[in-house]
Structure 1
Amino acid sequence: CWSLLAASSGGQGGVVIALIFALIINIGAYWFSDRIALGMTKSQHISEQDDPELYSIVREQARLAGLPMPKVYEIHTDSPNAFATGRSPKNAAVAVTTGIRRILSREELSAVLPHEMAHVGNRDTLIMAVVATIAGAISMLAMIAQFSAIFGGLLGGREGRDNISAC
């Protein structure tokens, strides 16, 4: 019931503030998901002059997938990995680690990158950013309810008890 949730999380005002905060986070995740992912992995932008081979592989896979050329990034780590990010095909980025470059041949890397390009084409990165934000908002509401129950009493007085029976 709305009244039970509102009472346990600082009143209806607390719920409204939490939902507005979640909306702001969701919009931020939508607009900045690519920068967040690339920043967290310390990715470095690669130009065609920096790595013509990698750039040509990505360009060819984008062409075959019918997608615009994404930005290309490299992550300096021994872990073999590759990922795609971005809110749309026009704002996409593909990142590969130096570890995967060391162990895969050009042909093998050309088989891995179409999988990443499919994520771009299907907007999987956008969907996952939104899902993660919603999960975070639910977690935040649960934490507010928990702290409210511990430090402020779950329902607070007679009015709160009457609201339970209305559920």
Structure 2
Amino acid sequence: MQSRFRSDRRLTARMGVTLFLLGLLYVAFMAALIVLLKSWILVVVIAAVLLGCQYWFSDRIALFAMHGRVVEREEYPELHGVIDRLCAVADMPKPVVAVSQMEMPNAFATGRNPNNAVICVTTGLLRRLDRSELEGVLAHELSHVAHKDVAVITVASFLGVIAGLMVRFAFYSSMFRGRKDQNTLAVFAAVLGISAAVYALSFLLIRALSRYRELAADRSAALLTGRPSALASALTKVTGDIARIPSKDLRTAQAFNAFYFTPALGSEPGLARLFSTHPPLEQRLDQLGRISAELGEAATPGKA
């Protein structure tokens, strides 16, 4: 079922190009592994198992890691009420609602499709945001669900997982078999080199894809709610509060930055932004400011 979330064509085109490049990289990598390892069955089986696990169990893994707990309407009526309203406006199925007892103010969406999705918010976020700000954040997360961003990122990141696995496979295979001839060492070096290069390239492409999808989700959320200023306020508030949380409390959360509303770390200037899963706060606020101006020109009285 098509939701009413609006998307940005330029951002969609960028995500499409990035996915195309990842696909080319994936095909080249798998072909090289088949030639070098001379066992396409092994490569295909490993690839299928890992992809299946990531695709089917990403929601459970994320909830377990972030101590999320599914909550009913009686426990969090306001949270359920906001999600109910947004889902009705967006014409999409309601996801499972979960809450994580964490001081870090954040939220994330996970699940392979809109019919099997979970939205989780932390108690730190619920305490800090007013209703309109919370609505903006939840609309952002619902946009990820509607556009199947979690599935896209899961599949895209799969290539990096395979690359890392092949490095370990080549290393332990040569070590335990005790084969030290030149051909074995040459194959090991080739697999190691190709895998390292593929991991580095896929890492950068996935980060770029993640940044594009965050901008697209911001835009979709702002247009759905009609209140980009509320989303901008939530972004500013949450980013500032996260920066004040001790680093030791963020270590577990950082592994799931790609799923979060805003990353669990501070500002990253210069080249470090290439490795970030989210665009800079300034860029997100600038986009929301432009959308606010657009809506101000086109808005009609009483529009939410």
TM-score (ref. length: structure 1): 0.81
For structure 1, the 5+ residue unaligned runs are 161-167
Residue in structure 2 matched with residue 137 of structure 1 by the alignment: 162
Question: What is residue 111 of structure 1 aligned with on the other side?
Answer: 136
RMSD: 2.6
Q: Measure the CA separation in 2 of the matches of 1:55 and 1:3.
A: 48
Is the CA contact (8 Å cut-off) linking 1:7 and 1:155 kept in structure 2? no
Distance 1:138 1:4, change over 3 A: closer
**1:72 equivalent among 92, 97, 120:** 97
* 1:164 match: none
State which drifts further: 117-126 or 16-25.
Answer: 16-25
Match for residue 27 of structure 1? 52
Determine if contact 1:65/1:114 at 8 Å carries over to the other structure.
no
Checking the alignment, whether the CA contact within 8 Å between 1:19 and 1:137 is kept in structure 2 is no
* Residue 58 (structure 1) aligned to one of 76, 83, 93: 83
Which residue matches 1:152?
179
Where 1:80 maps in the other structure, the secondary structure is coil
Match of 1:12 in 2: 38
Which region of structure 1 is more displaced relative to structure 2, 139-148 or 44-53? 139-148
Partner-residue secondary structure (3-state), 1:155: helix
Q: Is the Cα–Cα contact under 8 Å of residues 82 and 100 in structure 1 kept in the other structure? A: yes
* TM-score under structure 2 length normalisation: 0.46
CA–CA distance in structure 1, aligned partners of residues 159 and 48 of structure 2: 9
Letter in 1 for 2:38: Q
Query: How many matched pairs?
Result: 155
Structure 2: segments with no counterpart, 5+ residues: 1-27, 188-304
Deviation of 1:103 (Å): 0.7
Distance 1:80 1:152, change over 3 A: farther
Change in CA separation of 1:94 and 1:156 when aligned onto 2, cut-off 3 Å? closer
Deviations along 1:91-128, one digit per CA (max 9) or x if unpaired, are 11100000001111111101111110000011000111
Matched position secondary structure for 1:94: strand
Relative to structure 2, which stretch is displaced further, 143-152 or 60-69?
143-152
Paired-residue identity, %: 31
**Runs in 1 of length 4+ with deviation above 6 angstroms?**
1-4
- Deviation for aligned residue 1:6: 5.5
Report the alpha carbon displacement of residue 134 of structure 1 after superposing the two structures with TM.
2.3
Distance in 1 (CA, whole Å) between partners of 2:135 and 2:31 is 55
